[in-house]
Amino acid sequence: MSKKLFIETLGCAMNVRDSEHMIAELHEKEGYELTQNSAEADLILINTCSVREKPVHKLFSELGVFNKQKKEGAKIGVCGCTASHLGKEIIKKAPYVNFVLGARNVSRITDVLHRDKAVETAIDYDESQFAFKDFRSSPYKAYINISIGCDKQCTFCIVPQTRGEEISIPTELIVAEVRRAVAGGAKEVFLLGQNVNNYGRRFSGEHEKINFTELLRRVSAVEGLERIRFTSPHPLHMDDEFIEEFARNPKICKSMHMPLQSGSTSLLKAMKRGYSKEWFLNRAAKLREMVPDVSISTDIIVAFPGESDADFEDTMEVLNAVKFEQVFSFKYSPRPHTEAAEYTNVIDPELASERLTRLQARHDEILDEISEKHLGRVYRVYFEELRPEGMVAGRSDNNILIKAEGSEELLGTFADVKITKVSRLVQTGEIVG
Ligand code: SAH
Ligand code: F3S
């Protein structure tokens, strides 16, 4: 009987990819097979996120449950950003945890597995050229890392401390991975990094230095590849060359993540984001002008220390001007050892909740407006998942989630779908070609 691995992945797409790497390494080198049932697992991994405080609290109650339910002799490992951030504290608080493996130490999974109470969390460890074994959770699209770490020092963000300094992965490794994914049947790739359009800033060792725009050109030259997505780009690095390539290159999907954080120039300064409200509006307007069908998504933090009514109104103004297709909004959460955690001008929690509610309500109105416009239109959809009641779902090039009647044989194929029913989150349509 093979050994069984249960893995829970929290947080961002980079964690999803890190989990895939660990699954592949554990399969190839240790013979583990995946299970969805933690009670029958020989190894339980939690790949954690520490970007906000709430999931960190949840971790310990969850670990307690796993420990109670696990089968005898099963090991528990804590991986990812909270592992980097809390290190050996985790084993102090939950002594039954067998090892702690930081977000930048994924390649060491088969090593810590055999060292009880091992704690590997070095953030200067260089995995940028590590050749992981292959595992993909979806055969239709492939997540591919293009850089590790982040060099920005946004004052609210814990990521530079958990993932370390930014190193770009050599271009030839990325292109080779894209080729392998396409040969394996993927028609779409998702390029990943904390700050993708800063690509090429630093490599470890001697490598050809190209920027993100050039990387997109090279990746798009791979035959058989039909779609390229990427996350997350930084608004500061959205220069004209980048936006023009985005507009012109037919393989690049027309959806852009533009993490705003705040619409107030003075708060953006306090956050050390490096751009102003005007720059952000100018970039979004250029995108909308060059790519009329583009979808723009964003991240917004409300109630950052010192956020005045006027600052918040600036954020609402940007929301109204850009009319984002998707908004991920959060209340500011102070994170240990970040600059903003020292700021004393904190916002009253009730006011913070009020602002978040107002922002989300306005975004819902905007979404209603946007989704109305889909009715009767035809989108080319790449089907990726089965839905209940005989439906399949996928995304249009500009990231609209669309479902239609159909079954397995449609997965991994493209079809033209005419929208017959709209809603905020998922559109329903019928296949017309
Ligand atoms: N480079 C990544 C950032 C990862 S964090 C990116 O641009 O997507 C993802 C999002 O979490 C951030 O964009 C920010 O909106 C939010 N976030 C980060 N730190 C936070 C904090 N301390 N409190 C609340 N939200 C935070
Ligand atoms: Fe965090 Fe800013 Fe980097 S949000 S991940 S420090 S770009």
Whole-angstrom CA distances from 86 to 8, 144, 152, 163, 295 are 18, 27, 21, 13, 37
Is any ligand 2 atom within 6 A of the Cβ of residue 233? no
Q: What is the SS3 assignment for 9?
A: strand
The string of pLDDT tens digits covering residues 390-411 is 999 999 999 999 999 999 999 9
Same domain, 150 and 98: no
The domain boundary, picked from 120, 150, 179, lies at: 120
Is any ligand 2 atom within 6 A of the Cβ of residue 103? no
CATH code at position 397? 2.40.50.140
**Residue 179 maps to a domain:** yes
CA angle, 257 as apex, 103 and 310 as ends, to 5°? 105
CA angle, 148 as apex, 324 and 170 as ends, to 5°? 110
414, two tokens:
């493209």
pTM, full prediction? 0.96
Q: What band does 255 get if pLDDT is binned at 50, 70 and 90?
A: very high
The string of pLDDT tens digits covering residues 215-233 is 999 999 999 999 999 999 9
Whole-angstrom CA distances from 191 to 34, 169, 196, 220 are 25, 11, 8, 12
The string of pLDDT tens digits covering residues 58-77 is 899 999 999 999 999 999 99
Give the residue, out of 14, 104, 154, 198, with the most ligand 2 atoms within 8 A of its beta carbon, to mutate for a pocket test: 154
Determine contact, residues 165/183, Cβ cutoff 8 Å. no
**Residue 405 maps to a domain:** yes
Average pLDDT value for residue range 261-287: 98
Average pLDDT value for residue range 250-269: 98
Q: Mean pLDDT across the chain, nearest whole number?
A: 97
Looking at the 3D structure of the chain, how many domains does it have? Answer: 4
Same domain, 89 and 145: no
Has residue 388 got a pLDDT over 80?
A: yes
Residue 337, domain extent: 282-370
Of all atoms in ligand 2, which is nearest to the CA of residue 51? 1
Give the pLDDT score at 56: 82
**Residue 265 maps to a domain:** no
Same domain, 414 and 356: no
First to last CA, the chain: 47
Give the pLDDT score at 229: 98
Same domain, 349 and 422: no
Give the pLDDT score at 271: 98
* Percent of the chain surpassing pLDDT 90: 98
The string of pLDDT tens digits covering residues 6-64 is 999 999 999 999 999 999 999 999 999 999 999 999 999 999 999 999 888 889 999 99
The domain boundary, picked from 322, 350, 370, lies at: 370
Q: What band does 251 get if pLDDT is binned at 50, 70 and 90?
A: very high
Is any ligand 2 atom within 6 A of the Cβ of residue 286? no
**Residue 331 maps to a domain:** yes
The domain boundary, picked from 333, 355, 370, lies at: 370
Give the pLDDT score at 55: 82
CA distance linking residue 14 with residue 40, whole number of Å: 27
Same domain, 384 and 359: no
**Residue 161 maps to a domain:** yes
Determine contact, residues 41/2, Cβ cutoff 8 Å. no
Same domain, 249 and 301: no
Same domain, 219 and 313: no
**Residue 166 maps to a domain:** yes
Has residue 1 got a pLDDT over 80?
A: no
CA of 132 to the centre of ligand 2 (A): 25
Same domain, 392 and 291: no
Average pLDDT value for residue range 412-425: 96
